[in-house]
Amino acid sequence: MAQAALDGNKRDVIFIHYARNALVHAFADVFKAWHGRFPRLKSYVVYEETEARGTQISDGRLPDGHVPDGVGRPTLEQLRKWLPPADDVDAYFLGPRPFMAFIKRSLRELGVPEDRSRYEFFGPAEALN
């Protein structure tokens, strides 16, 4: 989806990735490479845990030198800081149901219109309130 958005239009693409820790940070290498190819890409990563099987964030840096943009669970303040104004957002999100319910509520609170908030489940589709 991100690749199509980057290839297909002239808008900025903001990718926010929440992962449990650095060991399960999906597509980290892909996004690192994309930053050199797509100047319209901005990405942020937040790790819930500061350590995982010997990989520890001590001074804010991981052993590979990467500095996450946040540590902990998703917050409304992160979204407020990283997203453009609500009338300029087309949000696409996926993940576990509790995460998606939080994101949907947060986008609503930020004023993102319902028809610009799209989500997809990892498993069978459910309703989000």
Q: How does DSSP assign 22-57, residue by residue?
A: GGG-TTHHHHHHHHHH-TTEEEEEEES-SEETTEE-
Total number of domains in the chain: 2
- Provide the pLDDT for residue 6: 82
Q: Tell me, what CATH number does 115's domain have?
A: 3.40.50.80
Residues 45 and 91 in one domain: no
Domain range holding 85?
A: 74-129
Q: Cα–Cα distance between 121 and 93 in angstroms, integer? A: 9
In Å, how far are 30, 81, 99 from 116, measured between CA atoms? 26, 19, 18
Residues 47 and 25 in one domain: yes
Residues 65 and 89 in one domain: no
Residues 78 and 65 in one domain: no
Residues 15 and 54 in one domain: yes
Residues 15 and 66 in one domain: yes
- Provide the pLDDT for residue 125: 65
Residues 32 and 51 in one domain: yes
Residues 90 and 79 in one domain: yes
Task: Quote the pTM value.
Answer: 0.81
What does the pLDDT profile of the chain (129 residues) look like in tens digits? 777 788 876 788 999 999 888 777 788 888 888 888 888 899 999 988 866 555 555 555 555 556 789 989 999 999 999 999 988 899 999 888 899 999 999 999 999 999 999 998 776 666 676
- Provide the pLDDT for residue 67: 73
Residues 91 and 115 in one domain: yes
In Å, how far are 81, 98, 100, 108, 122 from 126, measured between CA atoms? 29, 12, 11, 18, 10
